[in-house]
Amino acid sequence: MIDTIAVVGATGAVGRIIIESLLARKFPARRIKLLASPRTAGKPFTVAGTTFDVEVLRPESFDGVAIAIGSTPDEVAAEFVPWALERGTVVVDESGYFRMRPDVPLVIPEVNPGDIDKHHGIISSPNCSTTQMVMVIKPLHDAARVRRVIVSTYQAVSGAGLAATQELEQATADWLQGRGGTKAIFPHSIAANLIPQIGSPRPGGSTSEELKMVHETRKILGDESIGICATCVRVPVANCHSESILIETETKLSAAQARRLLALAPGIIVVDDLEQKIYPMPRDCSGRDEVFVGRIREDDSGPNGIALWCVSDNLRKGAATNAVQIAEVLAARLGTRPLGAPVRA
């Protein structure tokens, strides 16, 4: 057991779920320390019946902290992570700031747990849309080597924060009343609409979100040869990202083989009976930690393709749960390490 784990950005939507998960999973730490900005610190914060004090994030906050999970914007991560490293704290970072640094492991515990041991004080958790896709790709890649992936995402507004969820509610009310739709977080009204842009434009016509899926997937799987074409779309769904994925493999897999491989993979639940109208849907998957897969079928337009549909709670496995799982592995490694001792692998 470690002495203290800190949650940075504790009062945000993902921060709250991280705390809930630490409590529910009985994380092996004597103390959970909550850190946040001066705007929300200093007030009691109750999660799952447990009330915590929230401290202001500052360099000395990491004194005596073995592990910190950060759920903050990139610019906040860039500032606080060096403070933590100076004090011997290992950081599991949810932001995108460190993900593509070659010396920082990018980890999904069900996919590449061995990379945790390569850390130098920082371990990154992937983008939510990447996480669920790679969970699905991994067992097929191990069995038949994935050569190419074409993915279209249907991403819930919760991925853009609590204010975005509130905007969906207000915009929908406006639209139903025949008023102009609210738009503040999103560039267009999200009510009864689809917005085929998530992130900023990049050369060549892709967006930053789409390129995250490309580069993060290759890094996690350790294979730069995989071709990936992603189109990321924001949809008027409160929570849970959905993805339509076409996976081309080097060796042919039948739909039955793919279904078996996915059913045996850790963290995946197959929900697939088209005749009975049974398949994963966001309303059924919200609040769950697994990745749900259905509509598994062979691609008749090519020789070695498997098409499927997957849904996952982007705030949980796509963010909070994945980080907590990484921290659990770290806690097992650090349980006997004296506080303040070097953390470099």
Enzyme catalytic residues: 128, 241
99 beta partners: none
Amino acid letter at 44? Answer: P
CB-CB contact of 91 with 66 (8 Å)? no
CB-CB contact of 67 with 89 (8 Å)? yes
Amino acid letter at 98? Answer: F
Give me 258's structure tokens.
């793919």
Q: How far is CA 229 from each of CA 148, 212, 345, rounded to the nearest angstrom?
A: 8, 11, 35
* Residue of 239, 206, 211, 234 whose CA lies nearest to 318: 239
Q: H-helix or E-strand containing 168?
A: helix 162-176
* Residue of 105, 121, 103 whose CA lies nearest to 113: 105
CB-CB contact of 113 with 329 (8 Å)? yes
Three-state DSSP state, 70? strand
* Residue of 64, 101, 60, 55 whose CA lies nearest to 83: 60
